Amino acid sequence: MYQRSAAIVGAAHSQLGEVPGSTAIGLMADAAVAAVVDAGLTPSDIDGIVVRGPDDEYCFHQQLGERLGLNASFSTSLDNGGASQSLAVILASLAIEAGLATAVLCGYARNSWTRTRRSGSRNARMNQSTHARIREWRDSFGYFGEPATHALGAQRHMATYGTTKEHLGHVAVSVREHATRNPHAQIRWPLTMDEYMDGRPITDPFGIYDCSLRTDGAGAVVVTDVARARDLPHTPVIVRGFGSQNNLRGWTVDDHMVQTAAKASGELAYRSADVSPSDIDTAQLYDCFTYMLLVQIEDYGFCEKGEGGEFISAGALGLDGEIPTNTSGGQLSEGHVEGMLQVVEGVRQLRHEYPAERQVTDAELALVSGHGGNTVCHSTLILERGR
Amino acid sequence: MSTSASETTAESVGAPRTIPRPTSESRYFWDACARHELVIQRCTSCGRCWFPPSNHCQYCWSEDFAWTPVSGRGELYTFTVFRRAYASELVEQIPYVVGVVELEEGPRLITNITECETAHVRVGMPVEVVFNDIAEGFTLHAFRPREDPQSPGTGAV
């Protein structure tokens, strides 16, 4: 069993949003350096790297080590899509406990806004899918893009449980409300339900405000052992427990669309941390689309299965709600950095470093999720404010 | 069609489509579609079916299977209506419906829903296969309602 001996001691993000001409590795280095500085460590302290970049960037950890002049006893790049970033912290914690490394940089970077702009067409990259199997079994039917994949799940959930478009709207509006108080958020203007409902239709039931943003940005954290963490500048954030689940049989099979891998990943994480959903003070969930936040609220047991829509519509995600969620604005509003900013936000909330208007009062436990890999891979962190 | 050709776009039955390049595993399936036959693999060891095509039974890993004609009937498990064109050749096509159909035999297929107003498409709707010859020697499956789909869709608008 994991002995809870790892802690996050540094956290940072790069410039976020529209960063013309940016490269993913450049943004990654910005965030990595800032996270190490935040931790009060020096380059020679870092002996581990677990990162991920855009899917077409080979060996991202090697690129980062080259830039920052680091060798590493433990390093790799991950391939679990949006679940990779929480998984990076899990692997770092295990590596530290096993003695493979003493201080591990975890991070993710993308330059999606710049890439889209450079291509001259917002659609250019989607005209042909990258995997032969997807080209064969999806493209032929006009099935392009990630919104459709998640929309298929949303539509099934709506038919099964009576979830409505308005319920999804409450996700978008709630998360945006948090973003209005985050000076780094890519979109900060308040979203009303009317504006949400009038949003440009994409693929039913999703409109533009159900979809996360195209972001240039990176996030990074530094993980080390708890004993060392106590000598560093910030209140340590203990990696109290974690879980993962990968429904590799696929998104369209079994009941994976309406009960996602978050369910089993969460059960493992709660057991690992020896806590229950009611103990969690704030959740930072992978909100690539509104529906994915809603279904995870259910899968993590913050409400009953099928009741996520009503629960969220009653204000559950707000700073004073039942479970303050995506308090930085999430991927729907702060910026889509594939779950890495969720880790960073969880750390900051547990350090109590925000002004009162953004701070979850007395936050002691945060749950962070990552989801991706053709929407079947999932990882969960349960983080605890240290002493 | 030739396996050496890259995927191409053909204009036929009203809409241009990306024509997939069949693989050694999928060629039999697409050839059957061209004959207006829907076939899936059934394991000769455990009797279960799977889709898309691959050389091992997903349940018992047997390599012994038989291509089996299926009823072509099923239920619409879920769907989405595309309101935005992801490729210039699809602009004329929207709105169109991509669905996941659960066949009576078990497996689920990604396909298109056709011969039905988008507002009338609903989850759980009984459907049956039809075939679209989109290019010389190449046919895609689609599904249409088996009953008059008069009841309004569930969130389908």
Query: Using one digit for the tens of pLDDT, what is the confidence trace for B108-149?
Result: 999 999 999 999 999 999 999 999 998 888 899 999 999 876
Q: Please name the residues between 49 and 68 in chain B that touch chain A, using a CB distance below 8 Å.
A: 52, 58
Tell me what pLDDT residue A288 has.
98
Look at residue A63 and give its three-state secondary structure: helix
Tell me what pLDDT residue A387 has.
84
Between the alpha carbon of residue B94 and those of residues A142, A147, A211, A383, B85, the distances in Å are: 10, 15, 19, 45, 7
Best CA proximity match to A108, nearest among A124, A73, A84, A130: A84
Domain limits of chain A?
Answer: 6-115+213-385
Q: Which of A148, A200, A249 sits opposite B80 (nearest CB)?
A: A148
Q: Which two tokens stand for residue B29?
A: 């399936």
Q: What is the pLDDT along chain A (387 residues), one digit of tens a residue?
A: 999 999 999 999 999 999 999 999 999 999 999 999 999 999 999 999 999 999 999 999 999 999 999 999 999 999 999 999 999 999 999 999 999 999 999 999 999 999 987 665 544 444 456 677 778 899 889 999 999 999 999 999 999 999 999 999 999 999 999 999 999 999 999 999 999 999 999 999 999 999 999 999 999 999 999 999 999 999 999 999 999 999 999 999 999 999 999 999 999 999 999 999 999 999 999 999 999 999 999 999 999 999 999 999 999 999 999 999 999 999 999 999 999 999 999 999 999 999 999 999 999 999 999 999 999 999 999 999 998
CB A99 within 8 A of CB A45: no
What residues of chain A lie within 8 A of the CB of B19, using their CB?
A: 140
CA distance A359 to chain B (A): 37
Q: Which of A126, A140, A205 sits opposite B140 (nearest CB)?
A: A140
What residues of chain B lie within 8 A of the CB of A159, using their CB?
A: 78, 122-124, 154-155
pLDDT band at B151 (very low <50, low <70, confident <90, very high): low
Domain limits of chain B?
Answer: 22-145
Round to the nearest angstrom and report the end-to-end CA distance of chain B.
38
Rounded Cα distance, B144 and B116, in Å? 7
Tell me what pLDDT residue B147 has.
85
Contact B84 A165 (CB under 8 A): no
Q: Across-strand partners of A103?
A: A224
Contact B108 A152 (CB under 8 A): no
CA distance B31 to chain A (A): 14
Contact B84 A203 (CB under 8 A): yes
Rounded Cα distance, A172 and A213, in Å? 12
Q: Which of A135, A152, A205 sits opposite B100 (nearest CB)?
A: A152
CB A132 within 8 A of CB A140: no
CB A1 within 8 A of CB A197: no
Q: Which of B7, B93, B157 sits opposite A142 (nearest CB)?
A: B93
Rounded Cα distance, B46 and B61, in Å? 10
Instruction: Give, in words, the CATH class of A6-115+213-385.
Output: alpha beta
What residues of chain B lie within 8 A of the CB of A132, using their CB?
A: 21, 23
pLDDT band at B15 (very low <50, low <70, confident <90, very high): very low
Element (H, E) at A330: helix A330-333
